[in-house]
Structure 1
């Protein structure tokens, strides 16, 4: 039974139905807690109500991509239906439900009172703000409360802090190796990894030049017009575009498993080779499109890893170990590492700005309207599909934001809103740490910045750009070139004791003063007038 109700009448009927049950326990399921394998659901209990809600509290704290909002609402509704089919009792508030107060605590208090609940249970949220909100709610509640694990991640909130206790740097590679051993992932013995190496990153940096052919993504053609109408009728501010009758993202466990199988059978063979490549006409290349399915918990990380490894073992004659290790490292290493770092350093991490950057994020981040082809394509793709892969995020959009010394608060807000897989625990550490070096080197030992040469090396963007990647100054010089040297010059005090920056700082110090002045002047023009470039 599901208590939904888009009208006052249906809502009233459902409320009456619930009151006939001896309800004792209210359990909350958040929009990113769609874990079909959670032990909560092993048995049905007529004394338990499961509560899910589409709330303005969650749609309005940042401007989200329209596809992101739709994907969560569709996935939540599908999950509620799945629970109902298995005999669980669910109250689901959509945006227009007459009882929806649009704020979590108010909704919970209303339900507890209406159904005489004597115990409230929830799964630990993965966002700090929701964790704090629920802790405060429980403090003020006059009924029993209990928090449960989400049974999704491979580490606890505090595991990373324990692993690096007493260490000054938090090198992800060491953590990743420990996780490989702990879960016996691609290990020959307790100490020896398969393939003789822990990391095949050097094999994962090929430029794609039209071959091999890229299979079409495992897409979907879903009609989400009702969900879109609900969002529009509520007046929710969003960004980006959506095809309302051909929505392209997995929003159920069945969908998610289909995408996983498709990745193994069609894309894994070249995933590692081209995971850093970029092309103006290719949105997904050989990437899996599984991040939303995992971050909403429709798929468990270990089942994804095991499925990929199992497929590789069955097809070793066709798939090199480098393709698989690169994929495993992203999930087993990087994903768990970023979450651990988040809980280690919040809430202070949210405001850290070690490089003291304060410029405004250029308006073209919201439109894609810039003459720089790399930025145009990466941003336009993000607006059209709510997706860009890690190098587009890091070395194009993030690189430009850092080189132009943009306030990391604004960069955070943009990244958190635009990408379908962006939830703060994974977004903020990647953005503020890895991309913007705002934590001063906690995540990355040196800033991820580059001139146009790196973008040209890994992409096919520069061919059609009106700026010349080989020129450093002049009207048609690639803006990344002067911005790069200006950034090193302006931030030289921050990097003087950074050993990994010694070579670049040495090259900066050897530059002809007149040449450096031209580079700085060109960069300042770009920073002050980004709309002209």
Structure 2
């Protein structure tokens, strides 16, 4: 399109996780006059060492969305990474200089870091609310006001009422709000689902893969084979595949882990929802329709919908309510460095090596691997929660700070002091043994209580409780575990604590554990 002139031109910024035609900034703009700006910039690609699959997914999806906007009549100025803009603001300044634009329309980013950069932009940026979410910041703050505890369950019930999803009049379908109790079956002997829908790379994606291979070769993570969808049609197909093939058994086995099956019955669509390719409502409506048609049971559909309108929206609310310092909270005073095993160094712990290998190869691990394996270990080992946060932000294709930080800082690491969780999510090896087949082939012995072959999770668990006794002993959900610890023989307790110290010292010295 030709050169734009006149002060009336505005720029419309579209970020890599805002790939939605219904974006508020696009709605506020004039297609006949305003210019859309999209940019692959090194600052966004490298503020943490993102997984190569995550970078490739976003760049390919951005290029395709830009093409869709052009086909819809928008003037789009798109900068590829090789065009050398280091930051989003740099790209905006370049187009403002070109067009004479004196204002930028943007949809509020999901990271305080980017919000701050736009607020400091020499070209004024008007940030509109991201109304692709169900619950606005104002609505969440009104819900939170005056409550002693911000428990997701009560927020979730309000979101069910607001959407009408799985409601029977003003009552929940089936008479209960939450069927989580039915969703804790251990790993099945056989998984009948082949996993998420795989997509072949087209020309656009192929070019991006070559770029990422050349520019991010040293980042942790396997780039190829690459099989994510990179446009809305593909994301919809992935959703349909999940609803048809996996949803009926998703609930039963959503907490289970298998060494040789990375996906079980999980949807693996969170990266599509979080990047804007798949509206949350579409996913929830499809799941509800499957229940109404008798295709999937209530426990599976309720569990799936709760992840989206419960946890996902609650995480957004917590992130924006708590403010930019949230990532630096560390109420337990944990300061240990993130060990090399998170980046693929050898470990004898089968559960950890399995979860990290899946993360490396897929830019994905399901919620129990994240919470009860890699997260649990980090919390028990006393690792600095900010380092843990940056790792999760880097390695998962669905990770953006608004959703990742409350999950890690709050739910996983208890670094926020209990805003998100009423107790820390810690366990010894028995939970992992119950929910997985990892312990059967592990070098460590989950049933052994002492000695160098005993599962490290066991000693670390008791050492964690002992270390934080003052904080947690009166927690009604943890008092029983302290009573168990207090009944143990003093000599045994001393051995357990010494075993934990030896393990952590070895890990800190960089030795394989």
TM, length-normalised to structure 1? 0.92
- 2:423 equivalent in structure 1: 446
- Return the offset for 1:113: 1.8
Are positions 1:54 and 2:54 aligned together? no
- Note the 1:337-486 alignment, pairs <5 A: 337-367=314-344, 369-486=346-463
Are positions 1:295 and 2:274 aligned together? yes
- 1:206 equivalent in structure 2: 185
Are positions 1:152 and 2:126 aligned together? no
Q: Secondary structure at the match of 1:281?
A: coil
Selected match of 2:23 from 13, 20, 38: 38
- 1:74 equivalent in structure 2: 60
Query: Is the 1:272–1:322 Cα contact (8 Å) retained in structure 2?
Result: yes
- Return the offset for 1:225: 4.0
- Return the offset for 1:362: 1.1
Cα pair distance change 1:417/1:196, threshold 3 Å: same
- 2:71 equivalent in structure 1: 85
Segment drifting more, 150-159 vs 263-272: 150-159
Segment drifting more, 203-212 vs 161-170: 203-212
- 2:470 equivalent in structure 1: 493
- Return the offset for 1:118: 3.4
- Return the offset for 1:500: 1.9
Query: Is the 1:46–1:88 Cα contact (8 Å) retained in structure 2?
Result: yes
Q: Describe the superposition over 1:464-522 as per-residue Cα deviations: whole angstroms up to 9, x where unpaired.
A: 11211101211211111111111111111221332222111222222211000110011
Query: Is the 2:16–2:58 Cα contact (8 Å) retained in structure 1?
Result: yes
Cα pair distance change 1:233/1:219, threshold 3 Å: closer
- 1:286 equivalent in structure 2: 265
Q: Describe the superposition over 1:151-187 as per-residue Cα deviations: whole angstroms up to 9, x where unpaired.
A: 3100112322210211121111000011111111111
Unaligned runs of 5+ in 2: none
Over aligned residues, Cα RMSD in angstroms?
A: 1.8
- Return the offset for 1:214: 2.2
Cα pair distance change 1:470/1:88, threshold 3 Å: same
Rounded to whole Å, the distance in 1 between the matches of 2:231 and 2:371 is 29
Selected match of 2:212 from 231, 235, 256: 231
- Return the offset for 1:440: 1.2
- Note the 1:134-283 alignment, pairs <5 A: 134-137=118-121, 140-141=122-123, 145-190=125-170, 192-222=171-201, 224-234=205-215, 237-243=218-224, 246-283=225-262
Q: Secondary structure at the match of 2:38?
A: strand
Selected match of 2:11 from 8, 14, 26: 26
Q: Secondary structure at the match of 1:146?
A: strand
Rounded to whole Å, the distance in 2 between the matches of 1:294 and 1:507 is 43
Q: Secondary structure at the match of 2:78?
A: strand
Q: Describe the superposition over 1:200-236 as per-residue Cα deviations: whole angstroms up to 9, x where unpaired.
A: 0011011123235223321112154421332344467
- Return the offset for 1:22: 9.0
Rounded to whole Å, the distance in 2 between the matches of 1:119 and 1:20 is 14
- 1:95 equivalent in structure 2: 81
Cα pair distance change 1:229/1:212, threshold 3 Å: closer
Selected match of 1:117 from 98, 101, 112: 101
Cα pair distance change 1:177/1:516, threshold 3 Å: same
- 1:10 equivalent in structure 2: none
Rounded to whole Å, the distance in 2 between the matches of 1:169 and 1:114 is 51
Segment drifting more, 108-117 vs 256-265: 108-117
Segment drifting more, 19-28 vs 488-497: 19-28
Rounded to whole Å, the distance in 2 between the matches of 1:368 and 1:305 is 39
- Return the offset for 1:54: 0.3
Cα pair distance change 1:208/1:101, threshold 3 Å: same
Cα pair distance change 1:434/1:391, threshold 3 Å: same
Query: Is the 1:160–1:340 Cα contact (8 Å) retained in structure 2?
Result: yes
- 2:480 equivalent in structure 1: 503
Q: Secondary structure at the match of 1:90?
A: strand
Q: Secondary structure at the match of 1:432?
A: helix
Rounded to whole Å, the distance in 2 between the matches of 1:449 and 1:309 is 33
Question: How many residue pairs align between the two structures?
Answer: 507
Query: Is the 2:5–2:100 Cα contact (8 Å) retained in structure 1?
Result: no
Rounded to whole Å, the distance in 2 between the matches of 1:424 and 1:200 is 28
Query: Is the 2:355–2:374 Cα contact (8 Å) retained in structure 1?
Result: yes
Rounded to whole Å, the distance in 1 between the matches of 2:216 and 2:414 is 36
Rounded to whole Å, the distance in 1 between the matches of 2:180 and 2:398 is 23
